Structure 1
Amino acid sequence: MNRTKQIFVLGFAIFASFFGAGNLILPPLLGFNSGPDWWMVTIGFIISATVIPLLALLGHAKLQGTMVDFGKKVSMKFGVIFSISVYVIATVLACPRTAAVTHEMAIQPYFEINSLITSTVYFSAVFVFAINRGKVMDFLGKYLTPIIVIILLIIIGIGVTGSSENMVASQYKNSFISGFLEGYQTYDAIAGLLVGGIIVVNVNNSNWDIQVSDKKSIIIRSSLIALTGLFIIYLGLIFIGAKYNFEFPSDISRPQLLSSLATITLGKYGSAFLAVLVAAACFTTAVSIVVGTADFFKELFHDSKPIYIITAAVSSVFGILIGQFDVKFIIDLAVYVLMFIYPIAISLIMLNLLPEKYAGPIVFRTVVGIAILFSIPDFLKFLIPVENLEFLYNIIPLSREGLGWIIPSILGFASANIYSSIKNNTAKNA
């Protein structure tokens, strides 16, 4: 296999790893709500859903390690705890959402079936596939993703060239920040941390005839191809969501909007076909999450096979219990958790990309500690009435927008570097 083909094959594999339910249902509603400001919401969304995940993959290319390695400069214990937290979030929130999307897009419009029945059947099948790992999932992943991408590009192409009336005005106070925070719901930054480690292992274990120094280049170029593909899909879906926002009621759900856009561009049967493909893609994503989580805990407990089975079973039970709720409820529930974990993830990604002299252990501990501390108010919104946190919003810049961690983290980064520099100079002169 020549170098160019290696890069494109890996790039497509990375794209397929990122491509899930959130990538499909989130962008259209962003465009729908932003109207003429669609370009501003796109910039925010692209940064958190494409640029930051790309940086996570570049960080893996540099580290040549696992997700635990991203946090080891804070401490190895922290790296493990952070990794466990990410897997738990993926299992409890991201995974059940795939069942909810499947129900709302492929079951509810055509059959009178209770969502609990859907989630029970869905995750029973997920558990069976997770326990009996085979080539079926590889086959589905290999052929489903390109078919869905082709259909989406057709929808986007027809939608972009079709006629429309004037867009309804934006519902957002700040379109850029709304787009940035909505990007959290794709879980793509987290996916970058998860997928990146797998990519490094696969490249290192491949039989490609390449030098070790070339492996980083292949990962970087493949990642650029994958994330460019996501960027095109996001841009197109946001735009057509905005272009046709006069067509639908203001309370339309994310899955309903995607289905409706498919109906406008492809017709009734095209929409149904897309729903079936999306359901299958959601299923492969769910199995991948359960398998990845079970593999992690299996390795954590010294390659214990019973732990793998227990983890897969527990993940499937959570999937049944949470997956029966509608997509909006799961997304609303996830907001508070993601507002806490994302600042930590973004901080670790950015720090791991920096040269060692600017990101030593002291800097890591300071910045990550501040990110944790200043993201707590956003998490507490779920537990405490917002008015009880008003005093914090008055003293922390950007906290009302959900970005109160950014400026303190930057100041902490600068202060920790100054402290480290003074400490090193003092040690040299002693």
Structure 2
Amino acid sequence: MKFNKEGLIVGFALFALFFGAGNLILPPFLGFLAGSQWYLVALGFVISAVGLPLMGIFAHARLQGSMFSFAEKISPIFSLIFCMFIYIISVALPGPRTAAVTHEIAIAPFFDISPLTTSIIYFLLVFVFVIKRSTVINNIGKFLTPAILMLLLAIIFSGFFTEYKPMATNLTELPILLGFFEGYQTFDAIASLVVGGVIIISVKLKGYDSPVEIHQLITTAAILSGLGLFLVYGGLIFNGAMVNSEFPQDVTRTELLSGISLLNLGSFAQICLAILVALACFTTAVGIVTGTADFMTERIKKPHVYSITVFLACFLGIVIGALSVNAIIEIALPVLLLVYPLTIVLILLNVMPADFRTRSVMMVTVIATALFSLPDALKYVVSEDLFSNIQLYIPLSEYGLGWVIPATLAFFGTYFYEQRFETLKSST
């Protein structure tokens, strides 16, 4: 692994593309709930919000295509449907959520304007930033990420020199699982499929055409961004734990983040936090819109597809971004419980050696994952009692992990069956 200027710029850009609304408001709240067990909740959060996204980027570095490459071996039709579903979710939920968080934390405390007005201005700026494709990654890596990191470090490290009331006991059970599932809400495993494609195209636009060089550059960038995310998440979670005696138990995520900033930075808190939130959310929205437009351009291969997709994604962002943060999070939950297991499985399969990535192994594992993640998702939109009864017969389902054992059994069962079949075939 070789660190150079390009690796640093792309790594900074990747960090900023990952670090958005959920990444900022979720970790402090986890620390607040976990109290003295903050390190356990941090472990769960890092697994799903750092480990899985990193593996997604590593898989992109190997495949060097688009998100379509992740499931193409199973079936081109399935891969296309999966990709379209992911991109629709991305522009309909995490993208607009960045505008909602920006309004609640960065705009509403200073200006008496409606969420819709904020959403319109916000996505107009996203449109202007994204429409010139060749400059997106350089602008993020060189200018926006350093500003985000400086503001984050100011909030985190000032907390180590602030006196608080004694830390209260934890307010939650199973902190590791709480952290793991809260990591779902960052959308970063899904984001790794989206922004990984953005990084691949951007690196090629820089003139890199050797698969070895591309792999090395993207791997370096992924490790740099992962290290940055790990340190920032740990700091934010610890800050949330330190103040869990300072705020009422019913404090919201955004109220807690604002409160921590005020305790740590005093009179400058609101201004620093407003700038940080706006920048962090903006870079994520840029990544989502760019990734969606790149994919549509690759699939349709017609003039103006990129600009039309950017316009439509920004328009959808304006409409949904006018909702509250909590409303968007509630809408997202059942969707995430269905899509996230499939995303995790496809990421894990694509970082494995080629022997484990046969068409049959991937197909059977994905089908098992989809079937056994359905009860977790549908109980939020249909009859909770009906699916709760079904979940009684599925191991780990009460933790939202009903798909894990079936997917594992499907993977190993299919793999060993194929190995046995090949052995018998060669012996005859």
Q: For this structure pair, what is the TM-score category when the shorter chain's length is used for normalisation?
A: over 0.9
CA–CA distance in structure 2, aligned partners of residues 401 and 408 of structure 1: 15
Q: Give SS of 1:313's match.
A: helix
Aligned to 1:70: 70
Q: Give SS of 2:329's match.
A: helix
Asked if structure 2 preserves the Cα contact closer than 8 Å seen for 1:141 and 1:284, the reply is no
Aligned to 2:275: 276
Write out per-residue CA displacement over residues 296-316 of structure 1, whole angstroms, 9 at most, x where no aligned residue: 2233222241x4444333323
CA–CA distance in structure 2, aligned partners of residues 399 and 330 of structure 1: 24
Deviation at 1:133, TM superposition (A): 5.9
CA–CA distance in structure 2, aligned partners of residues 240 and 18 of structure 1: 21
Q: TM-score, normalised by structure 1?
A: 0.92
Q: Which runs of 5+ in 1 are unaligned?
A: none
Amino acid at match of 2:268: Y
Aligned to 1:360: 358
CA–CA distance in structure 1, aligned partners of residues 296 and 286 of structure 2: 16
Asked if structure 1 preserves the Cα contact closer than 8 Å seen for 2:67 and 2:83, the reply is yes
Aligned to 1:49: 49
CA–CA distance in structure 2, aligned partners of residues 182 and 348 of structure 1: 20
Write out per-residue CA displacement over residues 310-369 of structure 1, whole angstroms, 9 at most, x where no aligned residue: 433332332222212211111121111111111111101111111222221110001111
Aligned to 2:60: 60
Percent sequence identity over aligned pairs: 43
Q: Give SS of 2:39's match.
A: helix
* 1:2-401 superposed matches below 5 A: 4-131=4-131, 139=139, 142-207=142-207, 212-305=211-304, 307-401=305-399
CA–CA distance in structure 2, aligned partners of residues 421 and 297 of structure 1: 38
CA–CA distance in structure 1, aligned partners of residues 107 and 201 of structure 2: 38
Q: Give SS of 1:186's match.
A: coil
Structure 1 residues 217 and 284, CA gap change in structure 2 (3 angstroms)? closer
Aligned to 2:426: 428
Two-structure CA RMSD over aligned residues (Å): 2.3
Amino acid at match of 2:405: I
Amino acid at match of 1:395: Y
Q: Which runs of 5+ in 2 are unaligned?
A: none
Asked if structure 2 preserves the Cα contact closer than 8 Å seen for 1:104 and 1:256, the reply is no
Structure 1 residues 139 and 9, CA gap change in structure 2 (3 angstroms)? closer
Q: Which moved more, 1:118-127 or 1:224-233?
A: 118-127
Structure 1 residues 212 and 125, CA gap change in structure 2 (3 angstroms)? closer
Q: Give SS of 1:251's match.
A: coil
Structure 1 residues 130 and 58, CA gap change in structure 2 (3 angstroms)? closer
Asked if structure 2 preserves the Cα contact closer than 8 Å seen for 1:137 and 1:284, the reply is no
Deviation at 1:224, TM superposition (A): 1.0
Q: Give SS of 2:78's match.
A: helix
Write out per-residue CA displacement over residues 196-233 of structure 1, whole angstroms, 9 at most, x where no aligned residue: 2333344445446x964344233223211110000000
Q: Number of paired residues?
A: 427
Amino acid at match of 1:187: F
Asked if structure 1 preserves the Cα contact closer than 8 Å seen for 2:42 and 2:176, the reply is yes
Amino acid at match of 1:402: G
Asked if structure 1 preserves the Cα contact closer than 8 Å seen for 2:21 and 2:101, the reply is yes
Structure 1 residues 202 and 107, CA gap change in structure 2 (3 angstroms)? closer
CA–CA distance in structure 2, aligned partners of residues 277 and 162 of structure 1: 20
Q: TM-score, normalised by structure 2?
A: 0.93
CA–CA distance in structure 1, aligned partners of residues 168 and 51 of structure 2: 29
Write out per-residue CA displacement over residues 234-272 of structure 1, whole angstroms, 9 at most, x where no aligned residue: 000000001101111222222222222111111122322
Structure 1 residues 285 and 271, CA gap change in structure 2 (3 angstroms)? same
Deviation at 1:386, TM superposition (A): 1.6
Structure 1 residues 117 and 7, CA gap change in structure 2 (3 angstroms)? closer
Asked if structure 2 preserves the Cα contact closer than 8 Å seen for 1:144 and 1:277, the reply is no
Structure 1 residues 140 and 68, CA gap change in structure 2 (3 angstroms)? closer
Deviation at 1:275, TM superposition (A): 0.6
Amino acid at match of 1:69: S
CA–CA distance in structure 1, aligned partners of residues 109 and 13 of structure 2: 32
Asked if structure 1 preserves the Cα contact closer than 8 Å seen for 2:198 and 2:294, the reply is no
CA–CA distance in structure 2, aligned partners of residues 103 and 185 of structure 1: 19
Structure 1 residues 425 and 302, CA gap change in structure 2 (3 angstroms)? same
Deviation at 1:40, TM superposition (A): 0.7
Structure 1 residues 81 and 382, CA gap change in structure 2 (3 angstroms)? same
CA–CA distance in structure 1, aligned partners of residues 128 and 57 of structure 2: 31
CA–CA distance in structure 2, aligned partners of residues 357 and 137 of structure 1: 35
Asked if structure 2 preserves the Cα contact closer than 8 Å seen for 1:141 and 1:281, the reply is no
